[in-house]
Chains A and B, each alone.
Chain A
Amino acid sequence: MSINRRDFLRIAGFGAVLGLSGASVAATVKKEIEAAGPFKPDPRGLTAKRWGMAIDMSKLKSDAEIQKCVDACHQVHNVPEVDPDHPQQEIKWIWPESYEHAFPGNEGEFMSPHFKHMPFLVLCNHCENPPCVRVCPTKATFKRKTDGIVMMDMHRCIGCRFCMAACPYGARSFNFRDPRPFIKKDLNLEFPTRTKGVVEKCTFCYERLAKGVQPACAEVSNGAIVFGDLEDSNSEVRKVIDTNFTIRRKPELGTQPSVYYVIGGKDHD
């Protein structure tokens, strides 16, 4: 049997097209099979396109009210209270900060002493464009595609602290020592602690959202902290932002923080 050059090229061309299309179909089918594992999210969980927070500072009047939010968070997440002799080893997820430190560059030469000395409640801003995620070499810190939470995967953190250098808000703390001996006696047995050599921060209570519960700080804030979906124009948090003057921390850096501060809002009761 003989075959001329034209027929050979024709058959070879058809063969190549068939082979390539078959391979791509097989690849997509394989991908689909792999994606559908025996896993699914908890139906009780709260979902959003992008979680965010509005903190109404007029409702957080005293240090005690702020401390209540801090304590609630630190208790459910087993955050240690480190040795006061080593303040540089402090671990914090949410904490009070002075105006000039929370909003540097915005302080006036003359400004209301009330605002100047008021403690502001600050935490991880869960930025739209998080610099910590860009620098993490192991993807231990990452932004969840589903709801925009900037998460920490403690299993992957190697403790390089690039994220701490990258975060412009100081929202991250490093475990210089084993934190367990420094956790107050009421340990939350449903949540892990951390280990020596990992970085930790606020996670917008992802473990509570999965159960359908609001974040711990919002729950005890008597309505001062409103948590919800920033992309949903009917959400409670958007109503607060739409009807009040709000500021964000260091917006000039382009990180697009998801935590808004209501300043000088109406004084409710």
Chain B
Amino acid sequence: MYDSGKIIAGLVIFIVIATLPFTLNLGKAVAKPSPSIDTPTINQMAKKQCVESKDHMKTTHMQMLNEWRDEVVRDGNRLYIATDGKEYNMSLQNTCMHCHSNKSKFCDECHNFVAVKPYCWDCHIAPKEGV
């Protein structure tokens, strides 16, 4: 192999640089996101129950919000009939955020951790916090 010294040295430098993000953070534990449901409205609830079960909301809230959006804006259906038979007004701003009035501690906590930037708040008004 011609110039093997240069090639091997170059490869080593490349591997070191490419794996730098991993090696630099090795052994460091990143704080797990812990979304909080500590809001006045939720604390007053006898049974802390969202629209659907906690696991269902955790995994599919994004699909649900998209579905709600299309039903309300495009089909004019404003009420959601939950699995337990209760009816909810499908509104991010007026229903979801009415209980979850702590956007920075509830929404942003996980969204920041997994680096997703949903554009909800470009238009929808987030509730005022710390008032």
Contact = CB atoms under 8 A, between A and B. Distances in A.
Interface of A: 37-42, 45, 142, 144, 146-147, 151, 153-155, 187, 189-196, 206, 210
A126 to B, nearest CB: 15
A187 B119 CA distance: 20
B73 A151 contact: yes
Contact of B93 (A42, A153, A192): A192
A191 B74 CA distance: 17
Nearest to A78: B125
Contacts of B89: 42
Interface stretch (B53-61, B79-87, B108-116): B79-87
A37 B73 CA distance: 16
Interface in B63-90: 67, 69, 71, 73-83, 89-90
Interface residues of B, number: 24
A144 B76 contact: yes
A196 B93 CA distance: 19
Interface of B: 67, 69, 71, 73-83, 89-90, 93-94, 119, 122-125, 127
28 contacts: A38-B82, A38-B83, A39-B71, A39-B80, A39-B81, A39-B90, A40-B79, A41-B77, A41-B78, A42-B79, A45-B76, A45-B78, A144-B76, A146-B76, A147-B76, A151-B74, A153-B73, A154-B123, A189-B125, A189-B127, A191-B93, A192-B93, A192-B123, A193-B125, A195-B119, A195-B123, A206-B76, A210-B76
Contacts, number: 57
A190 B93 contact: yes
A42 B72 CA distance: 10
A142 B119 CA distance: 22
A191 B76 CA distance: 16
Main secondary structure of the interface of A (DSSP, over half): loop
A210 B78 contact: yes
B74 A153 contact: yes
A242 B27 CA distance: 80
Contacts of A151: 73-74
Nearest to B127: A189
A196 B119 CA distance: 12
A199 to B, nearest CB: 13
